[in-house]
Structure 1
Amino acid sequence: MEKPTVKKTFALVFSLLLVGATAVAGEFKEGVQYQALASPQPTDTDDRIEVIEFFWYGCPHCYRLEPELEAWVKKLPDDVAFRRVPAVLGPAWELLARAYYTAEVLDAVDKVHQPLFGAIHKQRKRFRTVDDVAALFAAQGVPEAEFRKAWKSFPVVMNTNRARQARERYGLEGVPTLVVNGKYRTSATLAGSNETMLKVVDYLIDKERVAGKKGKE
């Protein structure tokens, strides 16, 4: 019986690692767990890899994703930029999209984001008018006068219009949807679960990181 040498042992370990890495990369396929956008979209980041979450406050799937997503975002490396975009897939979605952008203008996303989700999905509150939204902001310490001024501001109106246009630009069919670097989109529906969806995003981030390095060579 032939005794293994150090060289053969190293070769065996290397081949096993290579097979394992290939298997992990091969788990996710375009057209299965993720899709390429028909037309790549410009990103709002410099040389960082952009990840966008398209969401809607009224979506129970978005609400359930929040704890996993928050934990995932905290671990992102410095070369990845994450941002949220409130989807507008119908007229009824616009009110809550505008609420998000109003919170952004007021630097109050941290104050309002989770309470708004909670009001809808825990307290079963319905938001039908700007007065309903103003009351929630006020409950989180945002003066009504400041809220109403921001609600009517140009940045809020402009960003809400852009969110409405994003449906066609990004080929959105539902939420939550995650888009990586303006090129790929995935969802729990495509990936099979929230956990797998975030793994797909990690895979796509690595894919874009490698592509970026090759582009600089």
Structure 2
Amino acid sequence: MLKKIKLSLLLLCLPFAAFAAQFEIDNQYTVIDVEKSSTAQVTEFFSFYCGHCFKFEPVAKAIEKNLPDGVVFIKNHVNFLGGVSPQTQSNLSFAYLIAKKHGQAHNIAEQIFKSIHIQGAPLTEIKDVKKLLEINGIDSNTFDSDIASMPIISAERALQDKQNKYSALGALTGVPTFIVNDKYKININTIKSQTELDELVKFLLAL
């Protein structure tokens, strides 16, 4: 009976072991010259204005869903894309942070992506951003109060600081970019499936 249990456990570990044996530094992932975060986390640098990020959203959601217990998934909206002013991009950062405060992060993110990439409404004016949130349950007065509050202003500044830090390190050259524990950048172009991506995340979390 004990042998059967050991065999079953071994079989369960085989898929991970098979993937882990293939994961190589400077191939599937790159090590960034910073200290590893003290908490287990996966950060996605993305932009609502990025078509690739829009198409990649189901993958990002799957990563978040499949994370081990206790691991935090962080969406870090950037404001450095060409063709749209940094302030316009930051308006969407504020919108996302306000939505997150009110437990509406996933829904509002989906609606922003839909507005820009499906409906062709780019949300370049703050009044349009405010209207979108209002339609989805966050009223105008709440929006005005939150966007002027220090916690939201500080959180948006933190998003910019983090994007600037990883840009300066050469780890953030485009979006979407996924970084595990602030130290390991996933080279997404080398990954062939969601299963492989999930296993790579788990592998990097354990380093």
Shorter-normalised TM range: 0.7 to 0.9
TM-score, structure 1 length as denominator? 0.74
Task: Give the match for residue 185 of structure 1.
Answer: 185
Give the letter for the 1:179 counterpart: I
| 1:176 match | 176
Q: Scaled by the length of structure 2, what TM-score is found? A: 0.77
* Percentage of matched positions with identical amino acids: 27
1:53-74 deviations in Å (ceiling 9; x for gaps) = 1111111221122223323322
Q: For residue 204 of structure 1, what is the aligned residue in structure 2?
A: 204
2:140 is matched with 144
Deviations 1:104-123 (CA, angstroms, capped at 9, x unpaired): 23332143121111111111
Partner SS, residue 162 of structure 1 = helix
Which structure has more RCO (C-alpha within 8 Å, separation ≥ 6)?
A: 2
Which of these two proteins has the greater Rg computed from alpha carbons? Answer: 1
Confirm or deny: 8 A CA contact 1:88 1:163 kept in the other structure. no
Measured after TM superposition, the shift of residue 33 of structure 1 is: 1.9
Match of 1:164 among 160, 164, 181: 160
Residue matched to 1:132? 128
| Residue equivalent to 1:53 | 44
Q: What's the counterpart of residue 119 of structure 2?
A: 123
Deviation at 1:203, TM superposition (A): 2.4
1:20 deviation in Å? 8.2
Cα distance, 1:54–1:185 mapped onto 2, change above 3 Å: same
1:70 to 61, 81, 106: 61
Would you say 1:33 and 2:28 are equivalent positions?
Answer: yes
Q: Assess if the C-alpha contact under 8 Å between 2:42 and 2:181 holds in 1.
A: yes
Partners of 2:43 and 2:75 within 8 A in 1: yes
- Pairs aligned (count): 188
| Gap runs ≥5 in structure 2 | 1-11
Structure 2 Cα separation of the partners of residues 126 and 109 of structure 1 = 19
Distance 1:18 1:130 in 2: 50
